[in-house]
């Protein structure tokens, strides 16, 4: 794949009849028929110059040379951009459960963490998701069209996660996968609250006990006669999905010792562990690769204090070099706006050694693959959802703006951010 730094400007003005036409501005909410780009970053293939994307029924119907397009009717909804990328995919966030207001003063939009009990895997993200939350609009305005969101770090098992598009309609309409993973935390943040473990050893012991109880619960269901089934337990039901391999156990761990504990749990129970944040992942690259565990890497610019004090801007590059699957996330912070800007975090990783094409892939196609959504999102290909982010320059340059977002063929944002 060619680098993102192809010469900008002038490419779309070749011999195309389309390039000589004036089209009226497209209003937010309009169904777009064509998106025309000086540079089209497909991610799954090469960077293409002077291309159009034709959209039908919310999907990409064709990709072609803009110079070959016939003259279109003036009322045809056409959106132009210097650079077009796939809509960005945030591999781990709490957006929609956490809102845009300050965590210390606005309890009403802090549904990402319930501290009344240390282990609550039965909490479903979709039941707490606010599709019309201002924070959803904020991240979408920077190109994010798909989010893996849900209960966040801070409890031993805080609840479940889900996958949604950022349409801002309702949870039921926007959700793609209502129950995806189960979120756990092996860090000091999980060592407070009612009934919480006081030490790392106790935390791992409690997590292990919860998985053993869930296994025994499932065994009792398997042995039970139809009229003598055990009483349903929503918490154990969620962990049974983990034990069956139907859901990943997403473990927030910063320190190397906690990362090692997460890998140990994965091996002991044969479950799919995903590492979340993983500030010191660079210290265990060989072990992570051997375990086949993906890393939902912390935002590059997250605050380097507390258990994140040893984070490194070069971790993404080291994981890529070692062929460890990873994607860059926005995470959660307790101060406004509560979620970082995904493209900025990838840009910093690129500035510290990560190949620029790999950096774009880390916020598009790689997270789509991890989430099992690569047949729909993450790259610009015929047949996929028409989720596109529009830019007025190289997305990783500080002076570049996201000038528009097309989501399943509809222009949902046109404010330059």
Mean pLDDT of 277-301: 98
**Residue 228, burial from CB neighbour count under 10 angstroms (0-12, 13-18, 19+):** exposed
* Region of residue 323 (left: phi > 0; alpha: psi -120 to 50; beta: else): left
Number of Cβ within 10 Å of residue 415's Cβ equals: 12
What is the reported pLDDT for 105? 60
What mean pLDDT value characterizes the chain?
A: 93
CATH of 11-86+382-413, one of 2.30.40.10, 1.10.10.410, 3.40.50.300, 3.30.499.10: 2.30.40.10
88-370: which CATH topology? TIM Barrel (3.20.20)
Q: What is the pLDDT of residues 361-409, one digit of tens each?
A: 999 999 999 999 999 999 999 999 999 999 999 999 999 999 999 999 9
What is the reported pLDDT for 236? 98
What is the reported pLDDT for 5? 44
For 115, the token pair is: 């501290």
Helix, strand, or coil (residue 328): strand
Identify the band that residue 4 occupies on the pLDDT scale cut at 50, 70 and 90.
Answer: very low
The residue among 1 and 220 whose pLDDT is bigger is 220
Q: What percent of the chain has pLDDT over 90?
A: 85
- Residue 220: CA count within 13 A, CB half-sphere: 15
Identify the band that residue 109 occupies on the pLDDT scale cut at 50, 70 and 90.
Answer: confident
Q: How far is CA 164 from the centre of its chain?
A: 10
* Region of residue 292 (left: phi > 0; alpha: psi -120 to 50; beta: else): left
Q: Which of these ranges, 13-17, 133-137, 293-297, has the smallest mean pLDDT? A: 13-17
Residue length of the chain = 417
pLDDT at 246 over 60: yes
What is the reported pLDDT for 69? 86
Identify the band that residue 6 occupies on the pLDDT scale cut at 50, 70 and 90.
Answer: very low
For 241, the token pair is: 């999905």
CATH 2.30.40.10 range(s) for the chain read 11-86+382-413
Closest CA to 407 of 389, 394, 393, 392: 389
Q: How far is CA 239 from the centre of its chain?
A: 22
Alpha-carbon distance of 386 to 237, in angstroms, equals 36
**Residue 214, burial from CB neighbour count under 10 angstroms (0-12, 13-18, 19+):** buried
CB 17 within 8 A of CB 78: no
Helix, strand, or coil (residue 276): strand
Measured CA distances, 389 to 79, 189, 227, 247, 343 (Å)? 11, 35, 54, 29, 11
What is the reported pLDDT for 18? 60
The residue among 145 and 20 whose pLDDT is bigger is 145
Q: How far is CA 52 from the centre of its chain?
A: 27
**Sign of the torsion angle spanned by Cα atoms 166, 167, 169, 175:** negative
What is the reported pLDDT for 8? 40
DSSP conformation letters of 213-267: HHHHHHHHHHH--GGGPPPP-HHHHHHHHHHTTSS-EEEEE-SHHHHHHHHHHHH
CATH 3.20.20.140 range(s) for the chain read 88-370
- DSSP assignment, residue 299? P
């Amino acid at each position: 794949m060619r680098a993102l730094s192809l010469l900008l400007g002038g490419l779309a003005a070749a011999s195309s009849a389309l390039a000589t036409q004036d089209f009226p501005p497209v209003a937010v909410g309009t169904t777009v028929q064509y998106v025309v780009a000086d540079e089209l970053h497909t991610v799954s293939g090469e960077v293409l110059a002077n291309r159009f994307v034709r959209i039908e029924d919310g999907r990409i119907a064709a990709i072609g040379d803009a110079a070959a397009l016939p003259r279109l009717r003036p009322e045809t909804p056409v959106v132009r951009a210097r650079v077009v990328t796939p809509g960005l995919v945030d591999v781990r966030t709490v957006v929609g459960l956490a809102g845009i207001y300050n965590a210390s003063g606005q309890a009403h939009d802090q549904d990402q963490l319930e501290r009344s009990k240390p282990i609550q895997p039965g909490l479903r993200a979709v039941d707490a998701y606010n599709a019309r939350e201002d924070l959803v609009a904020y991240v979408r305005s920077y190109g994010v069209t798909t989010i893996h969101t849900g209960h966040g770090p801070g409890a031993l098992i805080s609840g479940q996660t889900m996958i949604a598009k950022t349409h801002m309609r309702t949870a039921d309409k926007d959700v793609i996968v209502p129950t995806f993973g189960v979120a756990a935390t092996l860090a000091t943040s999980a060592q407070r609250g009612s009934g919480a473990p006081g030490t790392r050893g106790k935390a791992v012991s409690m997590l292990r006990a919860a998985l053993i109880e869930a296994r025994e619960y499932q065994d009792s269901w398997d042995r039970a006669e139809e009229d003598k089934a055990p009483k349903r337990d929503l918490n154990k039901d969620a962990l049974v999905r983990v034990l069956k391999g139907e859901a990943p156990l997403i473990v927030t761990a910063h320190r190397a010792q906690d990362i090692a504990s997460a890998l140990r749990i994965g091996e002991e129970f044969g479950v799919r562990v995903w590492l979340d944040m993983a500030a010191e992942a660079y210290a265990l690259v060989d072990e992570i690769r051997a375990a086949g565990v993906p890393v939902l890497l912390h935002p590059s610019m997250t605050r380097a204090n507390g258990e994140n004090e040893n984070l490194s801007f070069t971790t993404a590059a080291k994981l890529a070099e070692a062929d460890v699957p990873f994607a860059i996330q926005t995470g959660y912070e307790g101060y406004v706006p509560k979620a970082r800007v995904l493209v900025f975090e990838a840009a910093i990783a690129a500035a510290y050694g990560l190949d620029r094409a790999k950096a774009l892939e880390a916020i598009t196609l790689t997270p789509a693959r991890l989430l099992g959504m690569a047949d729909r999102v993450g790259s610009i290909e015929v047949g996929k959802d028409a989720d596109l982010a529009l830019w007025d320059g190289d997305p990783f340059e500080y002076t570049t703006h996201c000038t528009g977002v097309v989501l399943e063929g509809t222009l949902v944002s046109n404010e330059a951010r």
